[in-house]
Structure 1
């Protein structure tokens, strides 16, 4: 329950000002508020609108990192996955994976079993097991059958990445922090050290200077482009990962399935997610601006070729895709020939008054946040993170409310049940969202544009065909009631949304 604050209402000074509202900035913000420091987070666009809403939605240890010998990163990731599964039920949920094994193809059964035994050991519990061919096909009947020996089954986790970011930010605000979206920041210096930021609000047009004990540059793929920031950001190798979404009526899966792409041996995967089936991903150098990445026709062909190899019976083609998305990973360049071989470790740098952080993984945001605060505490000791406590207070009264409580938190979910008309608790079509969640988001979650509501507060714009065009009249009615939009504003927002969806998320060859 966070209203949007005017710049004029902000303090003159904060202990910590965080620039960047993705998973890294959100994690730092949440941990900083827990130290009792005064904290302000600003994001130039909407929260999670960059890399953090376009990931593969997996909270995982990363078997690929284990294969590459990145033992510390894998162990750290597995432990954080287990922590999040325990602390955030309904937001981070277990996901069973199947890795089909075929005669004469990689990976072999024994190598996979060896790797998964290590994976299980890191998690502190045995979760992997071998399924014979018959059991595998009973689990997923549309798998390729020729030379199938069976499958390795193992456990990881899934999430809604944008909702994870929002939960961290909204919980931080509930505990005394301040966060603002659509506010651009430039860094101010006094000649010797960074001393604050200059803010510009894209909504109101107002500007304001704020002093800061320490400024955090958590802008991810934009780390080297923060205006006024001193040099020191590492050289990044932006990598694009693109995904396709399908209707479960056309591509039905009960489990996640992972396999090696026949063209280059890269791991790809498909799994049920938020009322659709999500499939990806590519991993390519992105030579353009990271602002509005989009999938290319070559990536579509590559992904469809992978599906044809693993699910030949379905004959899936571009016409079956309901939406697409692409994100740019802020990977620190290590000079590897293969983009997928680059490390996903985070990189930290520090100059007087500023700490910068980029790279890293969705799964390990908490570890990264505490590392950043320890660095910031060298200048402002009160920022030193306290004893580790659960990030999320989780309590689900009944299983039917598990999802709502996980996404909104205890207090907000309880208030929603009292505030919103009961008839709006019905689900929207075949999706897991309710009309009540849309109204709540418009009322309490700093929605500025229609795409905030359709791409990040919910994912209706991705999982409903045609960019949820059929739902727009009722969605805009909620926006009129909760945000005060008049007819002209509704028309402008609808045109803005449909233009954005067509340019960035429409399936190949889609026409209105």
Structure 2
């Protein structure tokens, strides 16, 4: 990724082979694959890189056990093989982690059903990583868990990541392969015919508009895909929300999958960057997609009830919540009015008026999704598609990222180590606003009380010096950031609460 944001006017001087709209994991994946093919490719992001779903997921690179239960063996196999690839290629960013699924008497699924599912899960991944954990061992590993009627637990492995840092890592790789990108520059309109497409770009920094020309356009805007697709609506936006609490209040070393007492949905309780994360929910999201999503009181009550039922001596309350996080999944609607949790998580690619649209899918399978989009755009043929699916390595470059940046199981550094990481981020990752730094380049806004206000004050001089901000700009940015944290990453205020 270039150290400074490019001048949008300079982008209008080029004839592009491909313009990718959307700077989440799908768009980043398309950019990388296209750059590796030698195409002249540009990515546009209306907000910040990973601003949408790709910084607000459950942080898991996994196959998805429930997809097996739904009979979606193909998606599970695909995701598991991509998981193993990322574990191999991105150690320290994608990390294998133990998951525990407690089994209680009379609960479905029971031990033998789970054993069969996990046998298949491991077989699809070409590993063997599951085993039975006795009730005694479970009590030793998770002493706070309610242990009545517990027979034991199934243990298996999946992976954790920092989803926003994963997007940025893909973007760094794409830049090293020759790809171009810009944030805060959205595509207002797309027109033309295949081979000769025009896009109107609006620069959010200056307000100026520019016209770009490209042979092909791929719309990878996730939950916003219907706006530019030119076709009938296909995306069903579903909100998933999480709570972050201090690890001392809810100590877990493994990822726990526990069943909610009200609806039987599996919910995760897991360690992440020094805190404990609880989530997720699965609700239709009817709010304005141009506003950041936020957790509702209904979801907070739902997740606290889960914790206090499964960990009865913890007595977690709203006062224990360090921060909240809500994201909107771009799920392809079946049109059958299904319960949100029963909608399939496959991706889809479709074409209308020269625009290739791709949406849906999983964080884990971004590479496969990108190749399907390039195939639909006729930028690769089926033979090349098959060859690239089996390519030995995706990440071929070695960007000089600071050690430990984005490790999902390490707390963020303090003091000089933090200052060094922030210095590198500000020099290399197109930070335009404080929320870019605090909520996506680092996760300090989620990991520290009050959005990391104390830490931010200590970084003030460094940030202003590196970004060239004066006192007026700092005051404006600080006010902006505080409003974002208060409204979208904190407990909901009653006056703005939505159902």
Mark yes or no: TM-score above 0.5. Answer: yes
From 416, 419, 423, give the equivalent of 1:439: 423
Q: Distance in 1 between matches of 2:375 and 2:459?
A: 44
Contact 1:433 1:458 in 2 (8 A): no
* Structure 2: gaps of 5 or more residues: none
CA distance in 1, matches of 2:487, 2:431: 22
Deviations along 1:179-206, one digit per CA (max 9) or x if unpaired, are 0000011334247876121111111333
Q: Contact 1:102 / 1:148 at 8 angstroms: preserved in 2?
A: yes
Is 1:170 matched up with 2:189?
A: no
The yes-or-no answer on 1:475 pairing with 2:459 is yes
* CA spacing shift, 1:171–1:164, aligned 2, 3 Å: same
Distance 1:61 1:481 in 2: 44
Q: 1:176 to 1:401 in 2, by over 3 A?
A: closer
- Please state whether the residue corresponding to 2:267 is helix, strand or coil: strand
Query: In structure 2, how many angstroms separate the alpha carbons of the residues matched to 1:365 and 1:70?
Result: 18
Q: Distance in 1 between matches of 2:281 and 2:471?
A: 41
**TM-score, structure 2 as length reference:** 0.92
Aligned to 1:367: 368
1:232-247 matches, cutoff 5 A: 232=231, 234-247=233-246
Gaps of 5+ in 1: 408-425
The 2-side partners of 1:59 and 1:284 are apart by 21
Alpha-carbon displacement from aligned partner over 1:268-321 (angstroms, at most 9, x marks no partner): 011110111111010011112223211111111111111111111211111111
Distance 2:170 2:133 in 1: 38
Instruction: Please state whether the residue corresponding to 1:252 is helix, strand or coil.
Output: coil
Mapped pair 1:271 → 2:273: no
- Secondary structure of 2:217's counterpart equals strand
1:210 to 196, 209, 212: 212
1:390 is aligned to 393
What count of residue pairs does the alignment treat as equivalent?
A: 485
Structure 1's 394 and 119: CA in aligned 2 closer, same or farther, altered over 3 A? farther
Match in the other structure for 1:415: none
Distance 2:422 2:399 in 1: 21
- Please list the CA deviations of residues 210-247 of structure 1 after superposition, one character each: whole Å capped at 9, or x if unmatched: 11110011111111113xx5x22542211110000011
CA deviation after TM superposition for structure 1 residue 107, in Å? 2.4
1:155 partner SS: strand
- Which consecutive aligned stretches of 4+ in structure 1 deviate over 4 angstroms post-superposition? 191-194, 380-386, 394-397, 508-511
Normalising by structure 1, what TM-score? Answer: 0.90
Distance 2:435 2:417 in 1: 16
Show the counterpart of 2:110.
108
Q: Does 2:450 align with 1:466?
A: yes
Matches within 5 A, 1:46-85: 46-85=48-87
Q: Distance in 2 between matches of 1:406 and 1:275?
A: 10
Q: 1:106 Cα shift?
A: 2.5
Q: Give per-residue Cα distances to partners, 1:386-426, cap 9 Å, x unaligned.
A: 642422248799xx97634989xxxxxxxxxxxxxxxxxx9
Change (3 A) 1:510 1:159: farther
Report deviation, 1:171: 1.6
Structure 2 equivalent of residue 428 of structure 1: 414
Q: 1:206 and 1:27, CA in 2 relative to 1: closer, same or farther beyond 3 A? A: same
- 1:464-499 deviations in whole A, cap 9, x for unaligned? 111101112122222111100101111111111111
Contact 2:295/2:492 (8 A) holds in 1: no
Aligned to 2:348: 347
> Which secondary structure does the structure 2 equivalent of 1:179 belong to?
strand
| Residue in structure 2 matched with residue 21 of structure 1 by the alignment | 23
Q: CA RMSD in A?
A: 2.5
